[in-house]
A and B are shown apart, each in its own frame.
Chain A
Amino acid sequence: QKEVEQNSGPLSVPEGAIASLNCTYSDRGSQSFFWYRQYSGKSPELIMSIYSNGDKEDGRFTAQLNKASQYVSLLIRDSQPSDSATYLCAVNINAGGTSYGKLTFGQGTILTVHP
């Protein structure tokens, strides 16, 4: 079992729809969770971080965390063609409450938003 798993997609949604991206992780002790967006040929860009169970909203983005199910998701509302990118889920696997160590990434989900 991979430590961090994502559906590789591609996920295709129409403009204006909600895109839902999912991620599961194996280490129950993980504390910090991140979503990065990566455009083709570019480096990952941090878009959301979440540390507590529940939802965290930032503009059109909502991150959801369920530690009991070891599941984290990213919702993108009112999807735009400019949201088309690879979305990477990252987990601080060896985290304690204030760990600053390595991130373990999923393989990424390719999202395409078509007009």
Chain B
Amino acid sequence: GAGVSQTPSNKVTEKGKYVELRCDPISGHTALYWYRQSLGQGPEFLIYFQGTGAADDSGLPNDRFFAVRPEGSVSTLKIQRTERGDSAVYLCASSPRGQVGSYNEQFFGPGTRLTVL
């Protein structure tokens, strides 16, 4: 079946601009996660949705970052007033919930490479 998809694959923007990154999870997965990965580092947690609500947003670095999942499927990560330090690969993952044996196994999309000039 189809995996997690993310669009765009690459985004180049100028400092101060607004960007939106989209994630379409695996069909039927109710949990959705956003991570950010810088070169040479492991992914860093940003926010986790269970259904439509943000169950844990403790990883969002500041109030310029916001994410929504209005219908419990597709999610959008929004970054206002982008800064050069926001440049990274933004990864989305989804996970089934409620299935026996699925202890939070998360499956990643291909990522969006964001470059802020």
Interface, chain A (partner B; CB < 8 A): 4, 31-32, 34, 36, 42-46, 49, 51, 88, 90, 92, 95, 98-108
Contact = CB atoms under 8 A, between A and B. Distances in A.
Interface string B33-47: 101000011111100
B42 A88 contact: yes
A45 B106 CA distance: 9
B11 to A, nearest CB: 16
Contacts of A105: 42-44
23 contacts: A32-B104, A34-B105, A42-B110, A43-B89, A43-B91, A44-B43, A46-B106, A46-B108, A49-B103, A90-B42, A99-B104, A100-B97, A100-B104, A102-B45, A102-B56, A102-B58, A102-B59, A103-B45, A103-B104, A104-B45, A105-B44, A106-B42, A108-B41
A102 B109 CA distance: 16
A49 B99 CA distance: 15
B17 to A, nearest CB: 25
Contacts of B25: none
Contacts of A4: 42
B12 interface: no
A34 to B, nearest CB: 7
A100 B110 contact: no
Contacts of A92: 103-104
A49 B48 contact: no
A49 B42 contact: no
Nearest to A36: B108
Contacts of B109: 43
Nearest to A105: B42
Nearest to A110: B40
